[in-house]
Structures are given as C-alpha cells and as structure tokens.
Amino acid sequence: MDLKQQITHIAKNAANASRVLANLAASEKNKILKEMAESLNKNKEAILNANKKDIVLAKKKRLSAALIDRLTLDEKRITDMADCLLSVAKLDDAAGVEIKSWVVPSGLKIHKVRVPIGVIAIIYESRPNVTSDCIGLCFKSGNSVILRGGSEALNSNIAIFKAIEEVIKKNNLPRGVINLIAAKDRRAVDILVKLNDYIDLVMPRGGEALIKKVVSLSRIPVIKHYKGICHVYVDNYANLNMAQNICFNAKVQRPGVCNAMESMLVHRAVAAKFLPGMINRFKEAGVEIRGCRLTKKIIKGEVKLAAEKDYRTEYLDLILSVKVVDSMDEAIAHVNTYGSHHSDTIVTDDENNAREFLKKVDSACVYVNASTRFTDGNQFGMGAEIGISTDKLHARGPMGIEELTTYKYIIFGTGQIRTV
C-alpha cells in the first residue's frame, strides 16, 4: 500500500474500533488503563534506550536546549507518565453522563447525554509523554485516537506506543482503538487531515507553523492554540517577594512550553523597587531581557531594547520581554493586544484589581497570584494533558475527558405524533 492507502486504512480501523470503545464499561476501561501504566513501568528501559537515540539525533541537528528538554525522558518522567494514566483511571467517566433532562408539553421525555466524539487525530511535536497522555484521555473518554508525533521523537513514541499496544492486544480490543503513524514522510499530515469520513476531530500540538498548516489543510474540525504568549502583570499592590517567585517560576522552570511566561508587565509605581532584583535573578539563570525604554533606564547595562515584535513573540527559550506600564488598564490592554489568549496572571493584594483583571482579560486561563505554569490538564485535576485550546467553541483552556465528549439527545415517548 502507498502512504495514502496506509493512513486511510488506519483511519477506517479507528472509526470501526471507536464504536466498540464507546460501549466499553467504565470498570473495564479503568482496569486497562492501570495495565497500561504497569506496562510503561515494565518497559522503562526500552523506552529510555529509544529516547537516547532521539537525543543523539537532536543534538546532531543542533536543536535548542529548550527543545531537547521537552524531548528528554528519564526514569521520573516515565513514572510520571504512568502515574498520569493511573490518575485518568480514577476520574469519573464522562461518557453516558446525563447533562440535563426535561419533559415538553407533548409529554416527550428528553435527556441530554454525553457521548464520545469518535475518532480524534492528534498531531504533535517533541514531547514523547504526549503519546501516553493522549492515549489515556482518549481511551477513558471512549474515543479512538490516531497519533502523529514529530520525527525528532519518533523512536521514543514508538517505544511508548508498543508498551501500551501490548495491553490493547492482551485485552482483545480492536487494534484501531489506538494508532500511531510512524512514517516520517511529511505528506502524512496532509493526508490525515482530509479523512473527514473517518476522523471527527483534529488536535495539533506544537509550533505555530504546524498548527497553521493543519488549520489551512484540514477538512475536519480543529481545536488548537497558535501560540502561548503568556503574561505576568506585577501590580502596584503586589507582594514583591511573591511576584519575584511567580515570575521566575513562570519563565525559568521550563521555558520551552506553551504556558511559560513570555512577557512581564510591571506597574510604574513599583518598577524601580522590583526590577533590579528580579532582572538580576533572571540574568543569573541565563535569561536574556528585552525591555522597554523605562526598563533600560532603571536597569543600567545588559538589557536589549524591545521592539514591538518582541511583545508578539513566543520565544520558547530563556528570553523575556519586559514592559513598565502606567496603570492596570494599560496592562490589560497590552495583554489583550499582544497576548495569545492562553494564560495570564496578575500579582496583587488588591481584591478589586484582581477581580477587574479576571473580568477584562480575554484569555482561556486568567490567574491571581499564581504562575502561568499551572495551565495543564494534569495540574487542573484532569488526569493528564491532551491539549490546551484558545478557541471559544467546543472547548477552551486545558482539555480533559469532559472536553473529549459531545452529546446527543435521547427521547422517550408514549406514542406521540406531531400534528402541527
């Protein structure tokens, strides 16, 4: 078979398998998820060996340190992946849950009930843990999944997939319940996103170029976020020690992920007191600062002058844009103009300012006194991370099993016929 035939065959199998999975009992799904977790731990050595191959290739290609960090697995990260599957198993089942019910004047009893979406294709880059996280959440919510990971993580993805596929085979489930497209050919994505007869939803996870490509080509509904331009605004009523810790965590802990801070806004009233210590701490961690003119005036020395494009850039690296603002209104306007509607934080002890920021910032996740790094399905108690949406329709923010369902109406009658 040529590539198009291969991928179409995978999609057909996934569609057929989704009908079986949709009717699998919650207890059976939970048992299998626990076995998937056990299999990851049992195959840890094989997964680590495969990951080492990917790291060697990544270094040869001179990928950035942040991207290599996203790619790298160790024993703890594999244990965390297994733990995520166990967390998903503990979640309440969303499929089959009644959203609401009512009786209409004709006497019909109408029930609105959650059901799986069907077949979900996930196209992603770099992070091999996405493979197990997405399998777990799709499986729990009753959806078949087709995975297309990036070539830089191919060996890792195959090893993880094989460990989980063992469990699917052992439990005599249809092979199409979980699927991995291992072909390196870039045409695979072009083919996949046009198979709207078999696939119900596409979720791209990766850089802006990948996501824009998927959106432009897809015949299937797409849930996505283009960028993660996240802000922390340090208000004039902020606890500055808290602000420093939040900003440092948001930027430095894992700079190569979409919920890392890319732009720091500081109220003019506290800028002279806050910025010197904060920026010195950033510099010690290797962060390059690109600041506005007032930032450069306060910090003598190694601060580059920020251009407007810096405030629109998702660096995914140890680079930070900084702007001093005259008011919270200016901060809010800046976030809504230059941000990506992903995750934004205010650090303040003023309750009114906090409420105004929460109300007026148009982002999927808006925080008070916490790092943007918490925008993550696992951190939100959703068991694992399948993706983050900055769209406003169907799902917004971190997505869990509830967001991987749609609904149908179930109607009970007693012989009613319509006469008007």
**Mean of all residue pLDDT scores within the chain:** 95
Would you mind telling me the total number of residues written for the chain in this entry?
420
The tens digit of pLDDT for each residue in 8-31 reads: 999 999 999 999 999 999 999 999
Token pair of 373, please? 């790094």
**To which CATH superfamily is domain 3-223+399-412 assigned?**
Aldehyde Dehydrogenase; Chain A, domain 1 (3.40.605.10)
In SS3 terms, the chain reads as CCHHHHHHHHHHHHHHHHHHHCCCCHHHHHHHHHHHHHHHHHCHHHHHHHHHHHHHHHHHCCCCHHHHHHHCCCHHHHHHHHHHHHHHHHCCCCCCCEEEEEECCCCCEEEEEEEECCEEEEEECCCCHHHHHHHHHHHHCCCEEEEECCHHHHHHHHHHHHHHHHHHHHCCCCHHHEEECCCCCCHHHHHHCCCCCCCCEEEEECCHHHHHHHHHHCCCCECCCCCCCEEEEECCCCCHHHHHHHHHHHHHCCCCCCCCEEEEEEEHHHHHHHHHHHHHHHHHCCCEEEECHHHHHHCCCCCEECCHHHHHCCCCCCEEEEEEECCHHHHHHHHHHHCCCCEEEEECCCHHHHHHHHHHCCCCEEEECCCHHHCCCCCCCCCCCCCEECCCCCCCEECCCHHHEEEEEEEECCCCCCCC
Mean pLDDT of 143-163: 97
Residue 92: predicted pLDDT: 94
pLDDT band for position 64 (cuts 50, 70, 90): confident
pLDDT of 164 over the 90 cut: yes
Is residue 178 very low, low, confident or very high in pLDDT (cuts 50, 70, 90)?
A: very high
Average pLDDT over residues 171-179: 96
- Dihedral over Cα of 53, 54, 60, 64: its sign: negative
- What are 118-148's pLDDT values in tens digits? 999 999 988 899 999 999 999 999 999 999 9
The closest of 215, 255, 251 to 234, measured between CA atoms, is: 251
pLDDT of residue 60: 94
Name the packing angle between helices 328-338 and 351-360 (round to 10°). Answer: 20
Nearby residues of 337 by Cβ (< 8 Å), 6 or more positions away: none
Residue of 364, 70, 326 whose CA lies nearest to 229: 364
Once rounded to an integer, what is the mean pLDDT over residues 240-248?
A: 98
- Per-domain residue ranges for the chain? 3-223+399-412, 230-374
pLDDT band at 70 (very low <50, low <70, confident <90, very high): confident
Residue 412: its pLDDT value, please? 97
Determine the pLDDT at residue 260: 97
CA distance 229 to 314: 5
Indicate if the pLDDT at residue 328 is higher than 80: yes
Range 150-164 average pLDDT? 96
At 256-288, the pLDDT tens digits run 889 999 999 999 999 999 999 999 999 999 999
Phi, psi of 39 (to 5 degrees): -70, -35
What is the share, in percent, of the chain residues with pLDDT greater than 70?
100
Best CA proximity match to 391, nearest among 226, 233, 147, 270: 226
Query: Residues of the chain with pLDDT > 90: what percent?
Result: 87
The pLDDT of residue 227 is above 90 = no
- CATH 3.40.309.10 assigned to 230-374: yes
What does the pLDDT read at residue 305? 96
